[in-house]
Amino acid sequence: MKKSVLKKYANLIVKVGANVQKGQDVIVVADVDQEQLVTYVVEECYKAKANAVEVRWQSDKVAKVIYKKESIKSLSYVPTWKIEREKEVNKKLPCLIYIESSDPDALKGVNQAKLAQVSKNLFPVFKPLRDERENKYQWVVVGAPSKAWAKKVFPKLSSKKAVEALWDAILKTSRCGDDPIKAWDEHNKDLANRSSYLNSLNLDYLHYESSNGTNFKVWLIPDANFLAGGERIIHSGVYFNPNIPTEECFTSPISGKAEGIVYSSKPLSYQGELIENFSVKFKDGKAVEVHAEKGEHLLKEMIAMDEGACKLGEVALVSFDSPINNTGLLFYNTLYDENAACHLALGKGFENTIKDYGKYTKEELKAKGINDSSIHVDFMIGSKDLNITGYTRDGKKVAIFKNGNWAF
């Protein structure tokens, strides 16, 4: 990719994404493939007057060897210094910039049950530390192609051509064209208008219907909002965009109040494998029955991961006519694929969807209906003839989606 274009992308990541502030520390997490982009991102951080930038390098290949060779006990061991490091992060609240390049097949061949056990073991150690900083710092997830990822998306192209093609798709869907800052300004305004209209409706529940068999109702939390695009940190007032790209208006529904069946409209890439053509049946808000043409065992393992894994944490509305869907690509990466169509997520909900969430304790937010789990897995249900009807708390019926796209 041309240097000038990479620099523009780095600027978008730092200014619009993380919105790095003067004097702030920054942590960049990136794959070892991305030295050039990371160099520009670090430069942009200092241009934004960051105090210190730390880069944490990752490698799929190395991680795979470690996962294969180490025992569960050793993989689950957390040295004290790692905990101290997280505590320090919670004190200083640096911005986090995640640059995703993962090979979707990175963990193929690694024992999934072993991985699941390790994440189960690590969860209670890191959860309280993550909870402590939630909603208090700016973060952004963006993508940059590795060869392996690009070859997965464009298997017929040479590695070089595939990387170029994936860069094009990433930059286009990230609105990184002539003037990315202006494009994001306009995009954020459009998303904000849509979510404030949705919030003005005072919706009780949504009813989804599609010719693929989807017939599903989900109830919404009375004092939860639909959010979209950028977010604002309560205590600092800093506005940032956690996902580049983003197309969704999303909220967290009532954990434990959903009925009916949904059919997937795109494959789900989960732990290096694909779950394809699947359905999830909900009763009393719980996924009680799942079927998949491919990867059914993964889906079953996923919803049994913990108590909250079979309940919903997110309901997201995305137009079928979205820039990502219009590329016609499956990216094998949630950041892109979840912004291609309407989706639901099983697992952890978003506390910041509750109005004035800062006033409540974790327990109070959970009592309002925000789901909790160690997982948050998005899956696509948007189709070209999906209709969504909203039922308001004062008994009105409002068209939300008509034939896959916004009805307003």
Which residue number, 100 or 248, has a Cβ lying nearer to Zn ion? 248
Rounded least distance, CB 146 to Zn ion, Å? 23
100 binds Zn ion (CB under 5 A): no
- Min. distance of Cβ 210 from Zn ion in angstroms? 19
Q: Note whether 316 binds Zn ion by CB under 5 A.
A: yes
For residue 93, CA distances in Å to 49, 80, 122, 240, 394 come to 16, 20, 22, 14, 42
CA separation, residue 126 to residues 118, 123, 187, 366 (Å) = 12, 6, 35, 19
Number of residues that bind Zn ion (CB under 5 A): 4
The piece of 7-15, 211-219, 269-277, 331-339 that touches Zn ion (CB under 5 A) is 331-339
Please, what is the minimum distance in Å from the beta carbon of residue 199 to Zn ion?
A: 17
Q: Which stretch binds Zn ion (CB under 5 A): 57-65, 156-164, 179-187, 336-344?
A: 336-344
- Restricted to residues 78-97, the positions that interact with Zn ion (CB under 5 A) are none
Query: Encoding tokens for residue 123?
Result: 């969860």
**Which listed range, 44-52, 179-187, 248-256, 302-310, lies at the site for Zn ion (CB under 5 A)?**
248-256
Would you say 105 or 247 has its CB closer to Zn ion?
247
Containing 46, the helix (H) or strand (E) segment is helix 35-47
Least distance from Zn ion to the Cβ atom of residue 253, Å: 12
| Residues sharing a CB contact under 8 Å with residue 395, sequence separation 6 or more, in sequence order | none
Closest to 101 measured CA to CA, from 157, 35, 54: 35
Task: Fill in the amino acid letter for 15.
Answer: K
User: Do the beta carbons of residue 219 and residue 255 sit within 8 Å?
Assistant: no
| C-alpha triplet 264, 188, 400: angle, nearest 5° | 45
Closest contact distance (angstroms) between CB of 344 and Zn ion is 9
**Helical (H) or strand (E) element with 283:** strand 273-283
| Binding track, positions 249-278, relative to Zn ion; x by CB under 5 A | -x----------------------------
Nearer to Zn ion, 273 or 338 (CB): 338
What's the rounded Cα separation, in Å, for the pair 273 and 152? 12
Tell me the residue number closest to Zn ion, measured at CB: 316
Minimum CB–partner distance for residue 282 and Zn ion (Å): 18
For the bound state, the minimum distance from the C-beta of residue 315 to Zn ion, rounded and expressed in Å, comes to 9
The DSSP symbol for 272 reads T
Q: Minimum CB separation from Zn ion for residue 314, in Å? A: 5
In the complex, what is the shortest distance from the CB of residue 298 to Zn ion, in angstroms, rounded to a whole number? 20
First to last CA, the chain: 38
The residue (of 372 and 378) whose beta carbon lies closer to Zn ion is 378
247 binds Zn ion (CB under 5 A): no
Tokens of 375: 């997982």
CB of 257 to Zn ion, least distance (A): 19
Q: According to the binding rule CB under 5 A, does residue 338 interact with Zn ion?
A: yes
Is the CB of 338 or the CB of 351 nearer to Zn ion? 338
Nearer CB in complex with Zn ion: 103/338: 338
Handedness of CA 304, 305, 308, 311 (dihedral sign): negative
CB 269 within 8 A of CB 332: yes
273/378 with CB nearer Zn ion: 378
For residues 60 and 101, give the distance between their C-alpha atoms in angstroms, rounded to a whole number.
9
User: Which positions from 203 to 242 touch Zn ion by CB under 5 A, shown as an x/- string?
Assistant: ----------------------------------------
Piece in contact with Zn ion (CB under 5 A), picked from 17-25, 79-87, 97-105, 338-346: 338-346
Given the rule CB under 5 A, which of 12-20, 112-120, 317-325, 334-342 is the region that contacts Zn ion?
334-342
User: CA 228, 199, 381: angle at the middle one, nearest 5?
Assistant: 60
Q: Where are the beta strands (DSSP E) in 264-353?
A: 268-270, 273-283, 286-294, 312-317, 343-347
Rounded-to-integer distance, Cα 190 and Cα 193, Å: 5
- Sorted by sequence, the CB contacts under 8 Å of residue 178 that are 6+ apart come out as none
Token couple for 196: 């404030």
- The residues that touch Zn ion, with contacts defined as CB under 5 A, are 248, 250, 316, 338
